[in-house]
Amino acid sequence: MPAPAHYAITFACYNQLDYTRQCVESLRTTGVDLRRVVAVDNGSVDGTRDWLGTQGFGAVILNETNLGCGVAWNQGALALQAPWTVVMNNDVICAPGWLDALLDTASARKLQIASPAMVEGPLDYDFAAWVEGARLQLASTVREGDAHAVCLAVHSGVWQDIGYFMPVPRLLGYEDAIFFHTARKYGLRMGIAGSSWLHHYGMTTQKAMKLEMHLDSDASLGDRGWLKSFMHEGLLDRKLSRLRLKLLRKRARAAELAAHRMTVHGLRKDGGFDWS
């Protein structure tokens, strides 16, 4: 486990206490020093706020209303600063050795932003047993040029280069798109590490918010107009950016499948794994 002062971890939550409990327990059992964790609550009303105060975190920030992920992530990153800040969802289960492997990979590959590999979907399998084989298979695999906001380790220099997350509550889910867009624009090195794994239930907070707001499951929470305005790109440039990323992922998936018969991003589906 990295020296505690070398990292800080932050997550935002809005209700969904059961998922937060599972996430924190996985942090604890994988050796994370909870004094290096900052929890930011965005106005929960299900007992989350009281529970957070009993966990021995380095800090707990309680917002009275839902200020969105961008604001909450920034609050967490600023409250406890370190060479590496891990920003993560609260609906994930971390595998043993995930943090060591993630930061070691970032250091070895000179990445400035690094994410773990992951499986998304229902947790209807023995993740702890399964992941040992997955880590061995993809131990040396890094999908360079890609990362995801489910969990990302950000080097402190990134904050100096491109700033923090866009703190606009109306974005509600698009903050990560703007952050990654800016990182690529300035040529920051990023990657997904096949040696570090987590299970992600899959946007549980966003799904719950859509139900509260009576939105369809495929509707966007955030304001897409605001997203476009912050991208500072014309329509053609946006299309080219999306195409480049799509091609990068397609080629990486093909190479990973050819070498290992699995990839750094899978879906748990019908009792099996979909790596397409």
Q: Which domain holds residue 132?
A: 4-268
- Which residues does 186 contact at the CB level (< 8 Å), separation at least 6? 161, 162
Q: What is the mean pLDDT of residues 97-108?
A: 98
In a domain, 169, yes or no: yes
Q: State the virtual CA torsion across 126, 113, 35, 18 in degrees, nearest 10.
A: -40
In a domain, 163, yes or no: yes
Distance separating alpha carbons of residues 140 and 24, to the nearest angstrom: 28
- pLDDT of 142 > 50? The answer is yes
Is the pTM for the entire model greater than 0.85?
yes
In a domain, 274, yes or no: no
In a domain, 218, yes or no: yes
CATH number at residue 233: 3.90.550.10
In a domain, 69, yes or no: yes
In this prediction, residue 240 carries a pLDDT of 81
Q: What's the domain count of the chain? A: 1
Please write the tens of the pLDDT for every residue from 164-209: 998 887 767 788 988 999 999 999 999 999 999 999 998 665 555 5
pLDDT class of 239 with cuts at 50, 70, 90: confident
In a domain, 276, yes or no: no
In a domain, 98, yes or no: yes
Q: Identify whether the C-beta of residue 87 lies closer than 8 Å to the C-beta of residue 127.
A: no
Distance separating alpha carbons of residues 245 and 83, to the nearest angstrom: 28
In a domain, 32, yes or no: yes
Distance separating alpha carbons of residues 231 and 178, to the nearest angstrom: 6
Neighbouring-strand partners of residue 60: 39
